[in-house]
Amino acid sequence: MPGGHKFWRDTAILALIAAAARLIFLRLLPAGVESVDLHSWQLVALELRAGRNPYHTTPFLNWPPLWMQIIAVIDNASQVLRIPFATLLRLFLIVADVSGIIAAHRLAIFLEAKKARAIVLFGLALNPICILLVCQHANFDTIVALAVLLAVSAVLRFVRSEDPVDWLYASLAIGIGTLAKTIPIILIPLLSARWKTLDHRTRILGALLLLGPVALGLSIVFTLAPQDILQKVIQYRSLGGVFGASGIFAATVNAQAARMVRIVLLLVLAAVVILATMRTARRDSNDGPSLLLLAAFLLIGIILFGPGYGPQYIAWFLPLLVLTATSFDAVWRRILVVWGVVAVLTYLTEYLLLRSHGSLLLHLRPQQNFAWTGALATSSGLTLLRLPLFLAYCALWGKAAALLMRRNGDASTA
């Protein structure tokens, strides 16, 4: 387990650097740089303050109710502390993000990763993508990322210790993450690692911890507005046609064919999840890097095969990818570096120019005419802008699949 003076010193340094970078960026951010999402959270807070149900009166809440509850707490705190809601919300997200960096460093030390401090420092603490997502976009996917990290850490501890309590912690972490967004439910294959060592009572309790939080949360808001929850949450499919296969098909074929392609892609994703669960359960041993890679592999699959896309989704698996940087072969490292460079360039372009993301450059240079960015913000424009990133994701996902299959083969012949 991580411990000792050096670990805590390095962790403190990483946390301070990460917090300082985000606070400096926030301090330098021009007034008015707000994403559409941040504006949406302000409207949700106003609805809650007026005693109305934002699931019914706004289209902004498409997930289980954890984020709505956090918005309510932040709004009440902002009134008591007399701090603007947007500022306090960003500070909360910075705390969550720095907590994720601490969890990532702890996990890197647990896995005995080479150059753990360096990869966390440059891959997460100083990564411009992470800073932009938290300070400018201000979406809550950093909470999902923290839940994912805690779940993966607990699974790895369970694989090493075979202590059922660690497996239960993993189930709870996925359950809490699912209460924020349903995405972490795709990590169920990780819970099948060493499944046979658990008794039936532990498995039942784990299922309750996994599904209980989201079932309870959704049941309450469903009772208040059943039709809204059905349409806005249960049937929610994110924003399609702006990235990868869905964007390409939306721009080149008719809508009917595009819908069929999306259905096929979802079936592919379901098959991948089932296959991953079966392989993980069959293996007698699951090494840490492989389970880490499997989690990232499943989450990236949502971007490649899911029905929609948002730039904030990278937060779910970015820490996992960073932690695999020194765990596999040189080809993986090269692909990871290329993907990282393409991702940074793509995100800088989006957050500098797109009004939906806050358009930082437009606020820095208000005298310039950026009318041409309107074409960039169309479905076709976004798909073209993100095409290099999509191809990099495909290469990354394909190499991850090859690595996981090879490790499975090595384990089966050992």
pLDDT digit string, tens, across residues 343-401? 999 999 999 999 999 999 988 888 777 777 888 888 889 999 999 999 999 999 999 99
The answer, yes or no, to whether residue 287 has pLDDT greater than 70, is yes
Percent of the chain with pLDDT over 70: 95
The answer, yes or no, to whether residue 7 has pLDDT greater than 80, is yes
Would you say 120 and 101 are in contact if contact means Cβ atoms under 8 Å apart?
Answer: yes
Sign for the pseudo-dihedral over CA of 329, 408, 391, 243: negative
The number of angstroms, rounded, from the C-alpha of 36 to the middle of its chain's C-alpha atoms is: 18
The 10s digit of each residue's pLDDT in 135-148 is 999 999 999 999 99
Position with higher pLDDT, 376 vs 257: 376
State the pLDDT at residue 74.
98
State the pLDDT at residue 261.
74
The answer, yes or no, to whether residue 34 has pLDDT greater than 50, is yes
The answer, yes or no, to whether residue 237 has pLDDT greater than 80, is no
80 CB-near residues (< 8 Å, 6+ apart): none
Percent of the chain with pLDDT over 90: 73
Tell me the DSSP string of 37-63: HHHHHHHHHHHHHTT--HHHH-S---S
Q: Please report, to the nearest 10 degrees, the dihedral formed by the alpha carbons of residues 306, 350, 379, 399 taken in order.
A: -40
State the pLDDT at residue 411.
39
The number of angstroms, rounded, from the C-alpha of 1 to the middle of its chain's C-alpha atoms is: 26
Q: If residue 18 lies in a helix (H) or strand (E), which one and from where to where? A: helix 5-28
Position with higher pLDDT, 100 vs 414: 100
The answer, yes or no, to whether residue 270 has pLDDT greater than 80, is yes
Position with higher pLDDT, 363 vs 152: 152
**Low-confidence winner among 42-56, 107-121, 231-245 (lowest mean pLDDT):** 231-245
Structure tokens at 47: 């609805």
State the pLDDT at residue 366.
80
State the pLDDT at residue 414.
30
The answer, yes or no, to whether residue 174 has pLDDT greater than 60, is yes
**Low-confidence winner among 113-122, 283-292, 312-321 (lowest mean pLDDT):** 283-292
Quickly list H helices, 196-254: 200-224, 226-229, 244-252
Would you say 70 and 140 are in contact if contact means Cβ atoms under 8 Å apart?
Answer: yes
pLDDT-derived band of residue 63, with 50, 70 and 90 as boundaries?
very high
- State how far the alpha carbon of 109 is from the alpha carbons of 57, 276, 363, in Å: 46, 26, 41
Instruction: Report how far residue 404's alpha carbon sits from residue 294's, in angstroms, rounded to the nearest whole number.
Output: 7
Would you say 128 and 21 are in contact if contact means Cβ atoms under 8 Å apart?
Answer: no
Could you tell me which of 121, 93, 92 has the C-alpha nearest to residue 105? 121
Would you say 67 and 115 are in contact if contact means Cβ atoms under 8 Å apart?
Answer: no
The answer, yes or no, to whether residue 227 has pLDDT greater than 70, is yes
